[in-house]
Amino acid sequence: MKTLRAADRVVAGVLRWGVIATLAVILALVILGVVMRLLGWFSVTWTDEAIEPLMGYMVFLCAVALWRERAHFTVEVLNHALPVGVRRPIQLIIEALGLAFALVFLWQALPFALGATEESPFLQIPKKYMFVVMPVAAALMTVYSVRDLVTALQRVGDTEPGTSTRVNEITR
């Protein structure tokens, strides 16, 4: 279990710094493009093409980070209005649906990314390198969905009113 927690912390760090790095590079490229066009020195046409995959990487890395921490949007009004005996099975269904989504995403993203044969027009980068983030994100989301489903299964018989399965409470 210690090894899993250590691996989870490494993944969390990679996700966090990956999002920060891609955002910083996107910002630098946008500023470079604007300054070069403003000064009229030359046009940096490749920046638009470089920003597109970086934006994709940032979005998918951020999505996995949110999935990992269970920090995505939820509607908790109904959940808090229900008795505890009903909350647990509903939480189990939600976790099962999250796992189903992650598995379908992986099933669709893997052949899409590996089957990409095009290259970007200006930089001539194979698009499969741009799309590889999708199956990686889907695989990580699947792993975290399994973790959340197992946690929900362990809590089905609980009589305590707390229903949170946020990562900080799971990994303690």
Q: What is the per-residue pLDDT for 161?
A: 53
Q: Using one digit for the tens of pLDDT, what is the confidence trace for 35-93?
A: 888 888 777 788 888 999 999 999 999 999 999 999 988 778 877 888 878 888 888 99
What tokens does 91 get?
């939480």
Instruction: Output the pTM of the full model.
Output: 0.84
From the list 163, 165, 158, the residue with the least C-alpha distance to 98 is 165
Q: What is the per-residue pLDDT for 82?
A: 85
Q: What is the per-residue pLDDT for 36?
A: 87
Q: Using one digit for the tens of pLDDT, what is the confidence trace for 119-172?
A: 988 889 999 999 999 999 999 999 999 999 999 898 876 656 554 545 444 443
Q: Which residues of 5-40 are buried (b: 16+ CB within 10 A; e: fewer)?
A: eeebeebeeebeebbeebeeebeebeeebeeeeeee
Q: What is the per-residue pLDDT for 160?
A: 60
User: How far is residue 130's CA from residue 119's CA, in Å, rounded to a whole number?
Assistant: 10
Q: Which residues of 100-127 are buried (b: 16+ CB within 10 A; e: fewer)?
A: eebbebbeebbeebeeeeeebeeeeeee
Domain ranges of the chain: 2-170
User: Token pair 């920046």 is at which residue?
Assistant: 47
What tokens does 139 get?
């695989």
Q: What is the per-residue pLDDT for 37?
A: 85
Q: What is the per-residue pLDDT for 158?
A: 66
Q: What is the per-residue pLDDT for 118?
A: 94
User: How far is residue 68's CA from residue 74's CA, in Å, rounded to a whole number?
Assistant: 14
Q: What is the per-residue pLDDT for 108?
A: 98
Q: What is the per-residue pLDDT for 162?
A: 52
